[in-house]
């Protein structure tokens, strides 16, 4: 008979899989991860890992559904669900480079042309169309596709983070410090995520270019942790691409309605304009026609886009943008090189990298424990950034081939749906001991 996790452990599981993330910044107050009565804190991490291993795959998927359901419930004015239950901005349909004639037709049908974003780096335009009064968002999308069959229209989907930052609540196991890496000079690497806390000590001396939020990003735990794994540096802590310039696009701005497709599209265009060769996206969501088209354009020009596969469990359907063929999809492993039980699986998985039993920069503490495929993706992205210093399709393909040849085969022999081509960056896992640092 299967063991059922206690309520406290189930709450821990929910938090680990991202029930409290940057998109919840306006919903829930900061949460201190709970202790379990009767269970010593130095055993809690092992107990949580055991609970995750014993969890039913359907339960893992349900955690994300609960997160989305709560997000929708508490933001009914701005958000609703698409036909498959994914969060979208209410009454909005996004169009990719619609013709003037198509916009005139839409206006004649009662649509209001709202935000327009010129994606200068991608030679495209995103137009947000507001549904006429009394028309559902679903019907609005159907109608626009009928009016302009050759156009690209879709919901303005909202994308969520794919990992949890546990601010020093767990006593981590003792491990060695991550291996030092030589400085990555002349390197640029991009991050599409929540905001980064630039004042954090690990970013001292790091050049960070920011985009979004009217010029002022809103620091988030998730974005700060991922950024530190890319370019952070401190005593006993090294990001993978230390010495690189970070181009950080905040697509949330501290809002529960952040992370929408038009924001992600704008961030991609900025990266292209700034000629950033490697772009990390530790966000997940549904397939979206506009996002797919833009990813094709970006990668076709020679950028490498790296994304986390997501934490919905082994039985979950693929999550995007990681599942797009042109994207390098990264899963996570623990300190024992076992794939995270919550990690998604599939033919689209390209690499595995450390995603648990490690520390990253925190907000309330200098370092925090992190878990999830969100934190595996920047390790792979940092490795790519060290190889690809300029945008070039041939060089991008060579960098991919080089990392594939360096990957350590895990699981079944050869590429598989769990580990992809194998494990990379295992020696670069930042020691979880760093999370013992007291609050700053």
256 confidence band (pLDDT: 50, 70, 90): confident
pLDDT at residue 21, as a whole number? 41
Q: How far apart are the first and last CA of the chain?
A: 45
pLDDT of amino acid 86: 95
Q: In what order do the strands lie in the sheet with 367-371?
A: 164-166, 367-371, 358-361
What's the pLDDT score for residue 14? 54
pLDDT digits (tens, 9 = 90+) for 160-175: 988 888 754 444 444 4
How is domain 160-436 classified at the CATH fold level?
Rossmann fold (3.40.50)
From the number of C-beta atoms within 10 Å of its C-beta (0-12, 13-18, 19+), residue 69 rates as middle
Please provide residue 190's backbone torsions phi and psi, each rounded to the nearest 5 degrees: -110, 150
Distance, CA of 134 to CA of 68 (rounded, Å)? 25
What stretches of 187-254 show up as alpha helix (H) in DSSP? Answer: 221-231
Average pLDDT over residues 120-141: 96
Q: What percent of the chain stands above pLDDT 90?
A: 74
Predicted confidence band at 65 (pLDDT cuts at 50, 70, 90)? confident
Evaluate whether 353 touches 376 at the Cβ level (below 8 Å). yes
Instruction: Identify which has the larger pLDDT, 65 or 428.
Output: 428
CA distance 412 to 149: 44
How sure is the predictor about 143, in pLDDT bands with cuts at 50, 70 and 90? very high
* pLDDT for res 257: 86
Q: Is the pLDDT of residue 361 over 50?
A: yes
| pLDDT tens by residue, 284-308 | 999 999 999 999 999 999 999 999 9
> Please, are residues 168 and 439 in contact by the beta-carbon 8 Å criterion?
yes
Measured in whole angstroms, the distance separating CA 337 from the mean position of its chain's CA atoms is: 21
Is the pLDDT reported for residue 260 higher than 60? Answer: yes
How far apart are the C-alpha atoms of 397 and 404, rounded to whole Å?
A: 11
Spatial separation of the C-alpha atoms in residues 282 and 374, rounded to whole Å: 5
- What percentage of residues in the chain have a pLDDT greater than 70? 81
Phi, psi of 195 (to 5 degrees): -70, 160
Other CB atoms within 10 A of residue 174 CB? 9
Residue spans per domain, the chain: 7-73, 87-157, 160-436
Does the domain at 87-157 match CATH 3.30.70.240? Answer given as yes
How far is it, in rounded angstroms, from Cα 131 to Cα 143?
10
The answer, yes or no, to whether the previous bond of 321 is cis (omega within 30 of 0) is yes
Look at residue 44 in the predicted model and tell me its pLDDT.
41
Question: What is d(CA 199, CA 10) in angstroms, rounded to the nearest whole number?
Answer: 34
Q: Are 52 and 15 within 8 A, CB to CB?
A: no
Q: What is the mean pLDDT of residues 375-386?
A: 98
Q: How many residues does the chain have?
A: 440
Label residue 177 by pLDDT band (50, 70, 90).
low
What distances in angstroms separate CA 176 from CA 234, 331, 372, one per listed residue? 15, 22, 20
pTM of the model: 0.86
For the stretch 82-113, pLDDT in tens is: 999 999 999 999 999 999 999 999 999 999 99
pLDDT digits (tens, 9 = 90+) for 23-39: 333 333 333 333 333 33
Reported as a single tens digit per residue, the pLDDT across 383-400 is 999 999 999 999 999 999
CA count, 13 A, side-chain hemisphere, 301: 22
DSSP class of residue 422?
-
Mean pLDDT, the chain, rounded, equals 86
SS3 114: strand
Band the pLDDT of 55: cuts 50, 70, 90. Answer: low
The predicted pLDDT at position 54 comes to 54
Nearby residues of 234 by Cβ (< 8 Å), 6 or more positions away: 201, 202, 204
């Amino acid at each position: 008979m299967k063991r059922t996790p206690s309520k406290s452990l189930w709450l821990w599981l929910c938090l680990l899989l991202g029930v409290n993330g940057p998109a919840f910044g306006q919903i829930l107050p900061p949460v201190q991860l709970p202790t379990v009565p009767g269970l010593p804190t130095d055993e809690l991490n092992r107990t949580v890992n055991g609970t995750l291993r014993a969890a039913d795959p359907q339960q893992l998927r349900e955690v994300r559904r609960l997160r989305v359901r709560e997000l929708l419930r508490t933001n009914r004015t701005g958000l609703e669900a698409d036909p498959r239950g994914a969060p979208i901005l209410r009454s909005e349909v996004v169009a990719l480079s619609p013709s003037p004639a198509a916009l005139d037709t839409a206006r004649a049908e009662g649509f209001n042309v709202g935000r327009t974003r010129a994606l200068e780096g991608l030679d495209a335009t995103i137009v947000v169309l507001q549904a006429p009064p009394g028309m559902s968002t679903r019907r609005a999308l159907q109608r626009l596709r009928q009016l302009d069959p050759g156009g690209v229209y879709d919901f303005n989907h909202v994308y969520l983070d794919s990992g949890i930052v546990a601010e020093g609540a767990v006593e981590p196991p003792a491990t060695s410090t991550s291996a030092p890496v030589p400085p990555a000079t002349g390197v640029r690497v991009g991050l599409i995520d929540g905001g980064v806390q630039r004042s954090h000590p690990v970013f001292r001396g790091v050049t960070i270019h920011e985009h979004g939020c009217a010029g002022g990003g809103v620091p988030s735990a998730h974005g700060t942790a991922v950024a530190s794994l890319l370019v952070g540096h401190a005593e006993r802590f090294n990001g993978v691409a230390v010495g690189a310039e970070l181009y950080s696009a905040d697509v949330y701005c501290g809002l529960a309605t952040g992370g929408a497709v038009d924001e992600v599209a704008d961030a991609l265009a900025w990266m292209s304009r700034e000629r950033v060769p490697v772009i990390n996206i530790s966000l997940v969501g549904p397939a979206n026609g506009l996002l797919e088209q833009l990813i094709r354009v970006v990668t076709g020009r020679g950028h490498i886009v790296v994304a986390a596969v997501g934490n919905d469990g082994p039985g979950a359907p693929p999550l995007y943008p990681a599942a797009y063929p042109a994207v390098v999809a990264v899963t996570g492993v623990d300190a024992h090189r076992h794939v995270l039980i919550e990690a998604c699986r599939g033919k689209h998985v390209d690499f595995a990298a450390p995603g648990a039993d490690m520390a990253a920069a925190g907000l309330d503490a200098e370092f925090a424990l992190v878990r999830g495929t969100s934190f595996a993706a920047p390790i792979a992205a940092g490795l790519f950034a060290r190889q690809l210093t300029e945008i070039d399709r041939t060089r991008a393909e060579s960098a991919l081939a080089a990392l594939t040849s360096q990957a350590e085969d895990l699981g079944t022999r050869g590429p598989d749906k769990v580990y992809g081509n194998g494990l990379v960056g295992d020696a670069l896992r930042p020691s979880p001991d760093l999370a013992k640092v007291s609050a700053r």
